[in-house]
A and B are shown apart, each in its own frame.
Chain A
Amino acid sequence: MSETILQLDGVSRSFGGLMAVGDVSFSVQAGEIFGLIGPNGAGKTTLFNLVSGITPVSAGRIGFLGRDILGLAPHKVAGMGMARTFQNIRLFAGMSVLDNVRAPMQAFSRTGFFSDLLGLPASRAQEAQIMATAMDLLNLVGLGAKARAAASSLPYGERRRLEIARALALRPKLLLLDEPAAGLNLAEKAELSDFIRDLRSRFDLTVLIIEHHVPLVMGLCDRLAVLNFGRLICQGRPEEVRCDKSVIDAYLGDSHAAPRT
């Protein structure tokens, strides 16, 4: 673990007077599974939006693969190898399961528009390859048999897996997972850890994961950062974070801040 994949320096974002993320700095190393935890409204998803470029930062710097990505259009950041999933799943509901995975691969098209339009051999070969890759990804998440189904027809857990497959279609180096366990049942949650570890080794991934389910995070992540009210209050290995007093206060409320109800 030598290479720094993602580097945040003093990243801040305020909406009007509200400081959603304030002066957050941490770095994620290649091959790590890095957890981002914190109470509801702590600014975790905002931080994801800042990193992926859809929300501009108010202050600070974000580096990805050694390059400053502030001001870079989201599709360019994605093209560099950053893919994400969403807390409230955002599939292309009107498209088939297979097409959801194929859509992002447009970015890798090497053949020209007219070649595609005319179905020249190079385009066909590429189309066949894209198809094969898409099917591999779907089989990997157990949706191979449902490739032709409408994405909107999938049950909740399968939608989550399809979203991950779609993100993987970008061939990312860094995968951002926003609460992948939300809404999954216990058995599915248990499988999820193994699944994410398997993805990491199979695709040589670095993973940044937001998750509420504490046992999952503690078991899965190499390191954790804890956010509260937009500020980074602690970071380190799971066993260090677990015992940190500020983290316990943030989650359970300290005696001053949280009136009992």
Chain B
Amino acid sequence: MNIVFLLQSFINGLSIGSVYAIFALGYTLVFSILGIINFAHGAVFTIGAYCTYALAVGDFGLNGLLAGMSLPFRLPFPLALLGGSLLAGGIGVLVERLAFRPLRAKGADPLLALVSSLGVALILVNCLQFLVGAEIYAFPSGIFGSLPMAMVFKMDGKVLAVRTVQIIILVVSLAMLLALAWFMNRTRMGKALQATAENPETASLLGINVDRYILSTFFISGALGGLSGTLIGASFGLAGPYFGVSYGLKGLAVIVLGGLGSIPGAVLGGLVIGLGEAFLPPDYSSMKEAVAFVMLFVILLARPQGLLGRQTIQKV
């Protein structure tokens, strides 16, 4: 252990943790308004990453229905990121329309929507595989234009390297977090959304169009999913249509750890797990995927409601 390793781990953890946070917020928003986990969120994450890739790089690889085709244009990365996120938001809206609203309209048990969202997730991921194949895509190195790939600092003879993509991730994620906090707390639409989350029926009796706010929530959630998928993809590549599955599970660990339905909880949970992974000694790096769940296990033993969750008192 030395100061450079600590600093390097801290930067790595903060960067990845902030993506976990915005990804997990997508789960949290839907959960707080409907009281169910949207299992299609991992699929939206994946599709968002592929959409951005398509917009920025323009071709679709060698397998699948779209093999050999290419878009007539290429967008610069920031615009592609925006476009990919908006498209993912659209997919989120589709998920609500296909998996959630029909069941809600029939007054079905909310738990059933959990199963139907899982089904929609499988369909989406398989469609994606059908279209673009199962190969691995990676954003080309020149994606950030003239920015260098990394900044390298020398300290005490040791090397501290900060990749440009890490900084981009950190900046974009923090900006999203601030924007979301501002939206929820300062705008009237945010207030109406909170009211809907607290009690949809009461909100509807106060003239709030609940279905519209649920739809907006799925759009925001999907856009956050697509944004985080893109950022992860830009950092580690797009490892096939199923690469969202493990992040989907990790996102669940994040929200349970932070406290279900709590927005600050999702942020804290994301940072805790991101930093926990980053501070894993290099010798054990193959255990990285287990970190989130070990932490989840330990913390839930001490605080069953999660770090910032509210203790629910069952009223009889």
- Chain A nearest CB: distance from B105 CB in Å? 11
Question: What sequence of 0s and 1s flags, for each residue 150-189 of chain B, a beta carbon within 8 Å of any chain A beta carbon?
Answer: 0000000000000000000000000000000001000111
Any chain B CB within 8 A of the CB of A90?
A: yes
Any chain B CB within 8 A of the CB of A79?
A: yes
Question: What sequence of 0s and 1s flags, for each residue 92-135 of chain A, a beta carbon within 8 Å of any chain B beta carbon?
Answer: 11110001001111110100010011000000000100100000
Closest to B216 in A: A113
In the complex, are the beta carbons of B201 and A54 less than 8 A apart? yes
In the complex, are the beta carbons of A90 and B189 less than 8 A apart? no
In the complex, are the beta carbons of B198 and A74 less than 8 A apart? no
In the complex, are the beta carbons of A130 and B188 less than 8 A apart? yes
Q: Which residues B193-214 have CB closer than 8 A to chain A? A: 194-195, 198-199, 201-211
Given contacts A54-B201, A92-B194, contact A166 B206 (CB under 8 A): yes
Given contacts A92-B194, A103-B208, A104-B207, contact A116 B189 (CB under 8 A): yes
In the complex, are the beta carbons of A103 and B191 less than 8 A apart? yes
In the complex, are the beta carbons of B205 and A103 less than 8 A apart? no
In the complex, are the beta carbons of B201 and A93 less than 8 A apart? no
Any chain B CB within 8 A of the CB of A143?
A: no
Given contacts A54-B201, A102-B188, A113-B189, contact A107 B195 (CB under 8 A): no
In the complex, are the beta carbons of A170 and B195 less than 8 A apart? no
- Please measure, in the bound complex, the distance between the C-alpha atom of A170 and the C-alpha atom of B195, giving whole angstroms: 14
Partner of A104, one of B189, B194, B206: B206
In the complex, are the beta carbons of A78 and B188 less than 8 A apart? no
Could you tell me how many residues of chain A have their Cβ less than 8 Å away from some Cβ of chain B? 32
The size class of the interface chain B forms with chain A is: 20 to 34
In the complex, are the beta carbons of A84 and B205 less than 8 A apart? yes
In the complex, are the beta carbons of A95 and B201 less than 8 A apart? no
Any chain B CB within 8 A of the CB of A73?
A: yes
Any chain A CB within 8 A of the CB of B245?
A: no
In the complex, are the beta carbons of A106 and B205 less than 8 A apart? no
In the complex, are the beta carbons of B195 and A54 less than 8 A apart? no
In the complex, are the beta carbons of B205 and A92 less than 8 A apart? no
- Please measure, in the bound complex, the distance between the C-alpha atom of A170 and the C-alpha atom of B203, giving whole angstroms: 12
In the complex, are the beta carbons of A95 and B206 less than 8 A apart? no
Closest to B198 in A: A92
- Chain B nearest CB: distance from A7 CB in Å? 20
In the complex, are the beta carbons of A104 and B204 less than 8 A apart? no
- Please measure, in the bound complex, the distance between the C-alpha atom of A106 and the C-alpha atom of B201, giving whole angstroms: 16
What is the interface of chain B mostly: helix, strand, loop, or mixed?
A: helix
In the complex, are the beta carbons of A78 and B204 less than 8 A apart? yes
Q: Which residues A51-108 have CB closer than 8 A to chain B? A: 52, 54, 73-75, 78-79, 83-84, 86, 90, 92-95, 99, 102-107
Q: Which of B187, B188, B189, B204 is packed against the most chain A CB atoms within 10 Å?
A: B188
Q: Which of B191, B194, B206 is packed against the most chain A CB atoms within 10 Å?
A: B206
- Please measure, in the bound complex, the distance between the C-alpha atom of A52 and the C-alpha atom of B201, giving whole angstroms: 11
In the complex, are the beta carbons of B198 and A93 less than 8 A apart? yes
Given contacts A75-B209, A92-B194, A116-B188, contact A103 B204 (CB under 8 A): no
- Chain A nearest CB: distance from B56 CB in Å? 26
List chain B residues, Cβ under 8 A from A105. 188
List chain A residues, Cβ under 8 A from B188. 102-103, 105-106, 109, 116, 127, 130
List chain B residues, Cβ under 8 A from A113. 189
- Please measure, in the bound complex, the distance between the C-alpha atom of A127 and the C-alpha atom of B189, giving whole angstroms: 12
List chain A residues, Cβ under 8 A from B207. 75, 78-79, 104, 106-107, 170
Partner of A106, one of B191, B202, B204: B191
29 contacts between A and B (CB under 8 A): A54-B201, A54-B205, A74-B201, A75-B203, A75-B205, A75-B206, A75-B209, A78-B206, A83-B205, A86-B202, A90-B199, A90-B202, A92-B199, A93-B198, A94-B194, A95-B194, A99-B191, A102-B188, A103-B206, A103-B208, A104-B195, A104-B208, A107-B206, A107-B208, A116-B187, A116-B188, A116-B189, A117-B187, A166-B206
Interface residues of B (CB under 8 A from A): 183, 187-189, 191-192, 194-195, 198-199, 201-211
- 7 nearest interchain CB pairs? A107-B207, A104-B206, A78-B207, A106-B192, A103-B195, A74-B204, A92-B198
